[in-house]
Structure 1
Amino acid sequence: MAAINADADGFWSAMPNGNRVNNARQGRALIQSLFPGGSTTAPLSAIRSGVISTASDGTQAYDLRVTVQSGRILLVQPGSAIIGRSGQGAYLGWELPAARTVTCDSPPASNPRNDIVVFRAYDTAQGDTIPASGSIPARIEIITGTPGAVPVDPVTWDATGLITTWPAANPGGGVGIPLARAQVSTGGVVTLTDLRRGTAPIGGVRVLLPGDLLTDPSYMPGDIRWFNGLDYWDGTNWNELGRPTIGLAARANATQTIAAGGLTFLNVTSAYKPATGITWNGSNQATVVTAGIYSMYCGVSNGFLAGANYSCCIVGATAPGAGIAYVAAPTFSTTTTDSSVSTTRWLAAGTVIRPAIYNNASAFTLNPTTQKPAEFEMWRV
């Protein structure tokens, strides 16, 4: 039996009859082949839609970022984005070179309202209708929600970050991605939530934006993302490639009274190695941002104190009861001069860590000008 062949769907720069032809569908297929897909088993069936990051100050990514300019007027920064379409590949859309302004509808009368700022693409060849005469087919639009005691979003997006269904008040079809939620109060105050999700060419580093979740999977082993460091996808999990130094080192710089018969959090207000990659309240509380293995140390010296019986410890957000919630439990000795504890523990994101001292004797004062100051260090291994 002779082999049976099948047509493919085209190639870039096709030249039928000697004439070069690059149609829109071929262009979308080219774009789709360069960006991460949205399925593990069906290549080119979906694409990860989102914003392409090109500019950041290390804290904020600015591409297509939405901010309040004044009142209900919103400012949308320049940027470009990938917007997928089922069976049609991907659109590469952009807003260049200047920022644009859009304005939310008038304030609701009695309850707040969620409006969604979207980047929307219309393709008349697919039956879409551009709503405003003379408009180009890529638009920044505000989709107005319905007021409610607990307002809900007027549109939703799928796991690839794509909006495909639009309210009756916003006809025309097309596809889009969310940029921000603008909650409008009855007084006209707009509170923004950044909803941008990131995408990047295959082989590049995909910057996670505020709309991304750390638990979002990838669909391609070797995919690389950035969130306070680099991770790669092994087909099942994200694995760390590298992180900057995370942690801090701090010591006391003022006297502190240690209460009798109980636990006192140590005020180590002078950070001689400023906090990086964790949240620090400036005195005695660190909050883990990135889960991992952390080494911790807490030490203090009161000099010789007859009858003293105290010990450093490391605890959670509140004082532990009967040893519960100690990260590093105290080890007591009588007539203590120096006391220190150290430990290495795996800590989940959001874990709160505090240096403390538990005193089983009379109250006393720690004085960093005459004794070794209380110290606390915490480092991600």
Structure 2
Amino acid sequence: MPTNAAATGFWTAMPSGSRVNNARQGRALLQAIYANNDATPLNGVRSGVVVTTGLTVMSDLLVQVTAGLTMSVAPGIGIAHRSGQGPYQGWLLSSASITCDAAPVSSARNDIVVMRWYDSSQGDTSPTGDPCRIEIITGTPGAGDPVTWNSLGVITSFPASAPGGGIGIPLARAQVSTTGVITLTRLRKSVGIPGATRVLLEGDSDSSGRVGDQRYNPATDVYEVKSSDGTWQKIRYGADVGGEWRDARTTPALAATGPTKLQFATVATPPYGLTFNGTDTWTVQSDGVYNVLCQLRSTAAVNGGIAMGATTYADATHIIPFNAFTAGTDYGVSGPAKLTAGQQFCFWFYNNGSATTINNALRNARANIWKQQAAA
């Protein structure tokens, strides 16, 4: 006969005559909904704000300064994991108004806005009897934050000035100056739901997650997926990265026996995800493999060609090597180029003959640059 073991329980399992489930059973149900952030199942639910709104600014539990030392907190739902107890879910159904203590005298003070849970069954004591509160944890002038949070995003202890026990999640840092001005830094982290894309909030900087997780950064409009090697890989962009440019000058010169940096001041397709100086130089904003094309026609046949290179001409710095043509009038270079964020590049025509000009009257010189994929 096999040796079996009892499981802990199941939702709606109630003793005879009982009409309710207990709180721990309810939290176990939440653990089936929210993603774990620990290698041990049920050991650490990712904690923070449940994102339900917004496009570029997610408004759930959003903290804003309204006047002086007063702030507002938007409605929303928060999750905080307590060791051995599972996730606590709290909610704010309508906006709350909160106010910091008076401004410090000598140096600035960091106050932390939190959503805080009190569980009387665990020995917590709420100052108002409310099991979930929006609180300001007042800091010490000239010191750092008055509370810290663990890898799940949970505050597990509070200073003596804010007694009562419980746990919390940070929503914002309100740095109060000696003149009573708040400098606000939002600290919200987002919770995850298995199988769904997690929206990153201002406080999200972790690299954890399971293989197949997806996350979205509204600041850069990038989706990423957790790969088997433990890294996050970009899988889609909110708009095509790249653009198309033209040279609209009538007959720009191509110098004799040497390089000429090509200019493409006319925008044919508005760029996204690339910075252009308006004349001849591009700056990469995100790593990736780019498809590149540059073409022109000269007014006289010369030996020459085009290369994609750095801002200063040198054979050693070519990104796409010099493509040479003998006694030609049509010149071009194309191919894939692996580029990194911050890298600058331009296009060069190297003339091995007499000076000539670009025949833009017949066909404008052009440069097309489109991102094909994220960097491997």
Give the TM-score normalised by the residue count of structure 2.
0.78
1:355 partnered with 2:352: no
**Structure 1 residues 352, 114: CA separation in 2 closer, same or farther (over 3 Å shift)?**
farther
Q: Distance in 2 between matches of 1:338 and 1:105?
A: 73
1:246 to 232, 240, 246: 240
1:272 to 269, 273, 277: 269
Q: Distance in 1 between matches of 2:197 and 2:323?
A: 47
1:180 partnered with 2:180: no
1:140 partnered with 2:134: yes
**Structure 1 residues 253, 13: CA separation in 2 closer, same or farther (over 3 Å shift)?**
same
Deviation sequence 1:129-177 (CA, Å, 0-9, x none):
223x35x2222223333444xx633322222111212233222222112
- Given that 2:212 and 2:225 are in contact with CA atoms closer than 8 Å, whether structure 1 keeps it comes out as no
Counterpart of 2:216 in structure 1: which amino acid? W
- Given that 2:313 and 2:348 are in contact with CA atoms closer than 8 Å, whether structure 1 keeps it comes out as no
How much does 1:85 deviate? 0.5
Task: Tell me the SS of whatever aligns to 2:208.
Answer: coil
- Alignment correspondent of 1:88: 85
Q: Distance in 1 between matches of 2:182 and 2:317?
A: 41
* Matching of residues 309-320 of structure 1 within 5 Å: 311-315=306-310, 319-320=311-312
Give the TM-score normalised by the residue count of structure 1.
0.77
Counterpart of 1:328 in structure 2: which amino acid? I
2:119 to 95, 112, 123: 123
- Alignment correspondent of 1:231: 225
1:164 partnered with 2:156: yes
Q: Distance in 2 between matches of 1:153 and 1:79?
A: 24
How much does 1:372 deviate? 0.9
- Given that 1:115 and 1:143 are in contact with CA atoms closer than 8 Å, whether structure 2 keeps it comes out as yes
**Structure 1 residues 107, 338: CA separation in 2 closer, same or farther (over 3 Å shift)?**
farther
Q: Distance in 2 between matches of 1:250 and 1:122?
A: 58
Q: Distance in 1 between matches of 2:356 and 2:116?
A: 66
Q: Distance in 1 between matches of 2:90 and 2:231?
A: 31
- Corresponding pairs, count: 363
Task: Tell me the SS of whatever aligns to 2:319.
Answer: strand
How much does 1:87 deviate? 0.7
Q: Distance in 1 between matches of 2:160 and 2:224?
A: 42
Larger radius of gyration: 2
Counterpart of 2:79 in structure 1: which amino acid? I
How much does 1:249 deviate? 1.3
Counterpart of 2:183 in structure 1: which amino acid? T
- Alignment correspondent of 1:30: 29
Q: Distance in 2 between matches of 1:47 and 1:329?
A: 52
Q: Distance in 2 between matches of 1:111 and 1:263?
A: 57
* Matching of residues 367-378 of structure 1 within 5 Å: 372-378=364-370
- Percent identity reads 40
How much does 1:86 deviate? 0.6
How much does 1:209 deviate? 2.1
**Structure 1 residues 309, 209: CA separation in 2 closer, same or farther (over 3 Å shift)?**
same
**Structure 1 residues 56, 22: CA separation in 2 closer, same or farther (over 3 Å shift)?**
same
Q: Distance in 2 between matches of 1:236 and 1:343?
A: 31
- Alignment correspondent of 1:66: 63
How much does 1:79 deviate? 1.4
How much does 1:356 deviate? 4.1
1:203 partnered with 2:203: no
Q: Where does structure 1 lack aligned partners over 5 or more consecutive residues?
A: none
2:97 to 90, 95, 101: 101
Task: Tell me the SS of whatever aligns to 2:37.
Answer: coil
Q: Distance in 2 between matches of 1:26 and 1:344?
A: 56
How much does 1:185 deviate? 3.9
How much does 1:31 deviate? 0.8
1:304 to 299, 305, 308: 299
**Structure 1 residues 345, 313: CA separation in 2 closer, same or farther (over 3 Å shift)?**
closer
Q: Distance in 2 between matches of 1:44 and 1:87?
A: 9
1:55 partnered with 2:46: no
Q: Distance in 2 between matches of 1:27 and 1:268?
A: 63
**Structure 1 residues 249, 152: CA separation in 2 closer, same or farther (over 3 Å shift)?**
same
**Structure 1 residues 65, 344: CA separation in 2 closer, same or farther (over 3 Å shift)?**
farther
- Alignment correspondent of 2:145: 153
- Given that 1:52 and 1:198 are in contact with CA atoms closer than 8 Å, whether structure 2 keeps it comes out as yes
Q: Distance in 2 between matches of 1:128 and 1:120?
A: 11
How much does 1:335 deviate? 8.3
Q: Distance in 2 between matches of 1:70 and 1:365?
A: 63
